[in-house]
Every structure is written in C-alpha cells, then in structure tokens.
Structure 1
C-alpha cells in the first residue's frame, strides 16, 4: 500500500494531466508522462501516448457544460494509473518516479495558470503587498500592475 504522500502526489499528477490537455503545455506534459510510464521501453511509452491522445480527444469532443465532469473522471483515471505505477516499483525507483511526478505537477500547474516558482522562490496568486521601511528597498520581478502608496522621496546625496 502506498504512503499517503504518494497518493496525494498521484492525485496531483492526475490533475496535472487532465488540466494540461488542450493547453499550450500539453505537448510537454504528454512527453513527460510517456517518459515516466515508458521508463526506457518504447512500447510502454507508445501505449501511454495512445492513452494521452484519447484523453485529449475526449476533452476536445466534450460539450463545455460537461467538460468539468469529464475532466474529474480523467483526473481519477490518471491518478489510478500513477498509483499503480508507484506500487509496482521498488523503493529506489519509486523515489525517482516520485521526483518526476513532482516535476509533472509543477509543469501542469503552469499549464493551468497557477503560480509557479523553483526552489527558493515565492509564488502568489492574487494581490501581494511588499513594503520597505526605514530607508530600505523592496524589489522583485513584477508581472502585472503596480501601485505605490506614499512613495519615498529622494533624500540628500551621500558620499
């Protein structure tokens, strides 16, 4: 039986597959999933690619009002596949695949429009307040609008 953390990871990976289908990130997600299941065996990768193609085709053919229900079923289906894969592996291989699934989840998060950052980064969805006090400076990379309240006035030049 899988540890709860691996079940959660398999669930997130299933969601990543279902959410990425039909987006710009689909090609990358599709290739990553085929590599995870293929594990160096071209025939296994081909079987997975076929399943992924059917996943995408099913979502493409679904009426918009039924897409959420289908996406939920596809998430569950892919979760079960990822759980089965993890259960079939020895401990060392399971750790490798778990790392690959974490990368897949991050890739799927970007596809779904979620916030994403590498190790040591910070992500946020929504508004964030950054405040500098006592003459300090706060900065970062900003994608979107910015509003400054009471911007500091330049002081005398120091040498």
Structure 2
C-alpha cells in the first residue's frame, strides 16, 4: 500500500504527462520520465518512450469532442503505471523513486517568461486526485512520514 506522498506523486505524475504532451517541454520531459521508469534498464526505458509517444499521439489526434475524456483516461493510465512501479519497490527504493519523481516534476514545470511577470492565466486544466493550486506567491510543500 502506498502512502500519501507516493499517491500524490503518482497523481501529479499522471497529470504532468498529459499536460506536457504536445508542448515544447515534451521531448525532454518524455525522456526523463522514460528514464525514471526504466530504473537503469535500457530496454524498459525504450518501451516507456514508445508508450509515452503513443499517449501523446492519441492526445494530439483526438477531436475536440473526445479530447477531455481522453485526457482524463490518459492521466489515470499514467497515474496507475506510476503507482504500480512504486508498489513493486521496497520501502527505501520507493522513497528514493518518489524523491526522484518529485524532482523530475519540479524541473518540468514551465518557467514564467517576461509576459507572465504581471500574472499567469490558467485555463483548461483538469485535476484528478490530490492537487495543490496557487495563484500567486511562493508555495513550499513538504511531505514527511509520521514515525
């Protein structure tokens, strides 16, 4: 059974895959995600790249009437894949994998450009599962386990 931190990381990871697909971030992000899944196994990493590309392709080919349904489905698929990987790791490996995933997701967030200096518009987002959303300022979120 996964703890709240692992579940939150999996939910965020699933959303991040879908949010990044088709954006300028995709090429670098997909490689880092595949590497994270591969855990040093080049064959597994290659398979994950194929899965990620298939997901991105499905999302880009979806018509307007089906894109939201497909986004929700793909988020759930990737969340489930992340949860499964984490469940298969022992406690210490799982903690390390969650930390690596959290770092990967933090690096993948788009950085505000000069146009965003006065504010940022957020629209068309779907959040499934635990979500932290902040409009302005700085947010520092720390998760810890109860002893």
Band the TM-score falls in, shorter-chain normalisation: 0.7 to 0.9
Return the offset for 1:15: 0.3
Other structure's SS at 1:7 match:
helix
Contact 1:13/1:104 (8 A) holds in 2: no
Pairwise CA RMSD of aligned residues?
Answer: 2.4
Name stretches of at least 5 consecutive residues in structure 2 with no aligned partner.
122-133, 138-147
Return the offset for 1:90: 1.4
- 2:39 counterpart residue number: 39
- 1:30 counterpart residue number: 30
Name stretches of at least 5 consecutive residues in structure 1 with no aligned partner.
116-123, 129-159
Structure 2-normalised TM-score? Answer: 0.72
* Count of paired positions: 119
Other structure's SS at 1:35 match:
helix
Other structure's SS at 2:98 match:
helix
Q: Of the two structures, which has the highest relative contact order with CA contacts closer than 8 Å and spacing of 6 or more?
A: 2
Q: Deviations over 1:27-54 (max 9, x none)?
A: 1210111111111111100110110010
Other structure's SS at 2:14 match:
helix
Q: Deviations over 1:45-84 (max 9, x none)?
A: 0110110010011011101232121111100000000000
2:51 is the alignment partner of 1:51: yes
Question: Stretches of 4+ moved more than 6 A in 1?
Answer: none
CA distance in structure 1 between the aligned counterparts of 2:28 and 2:107, rounded to whole angstroms: 8
Q: Deviations over 1:77-99 (max 9, x none)?
A: 00000000001111221122111
Superposed, which structure 2 residues align to 1:6-155 within 5 Å? 6-110=6-110, 125=135
Structure 1-normalised TM-score? Answer: 0.67
Return the offset for 1:125: 3.3
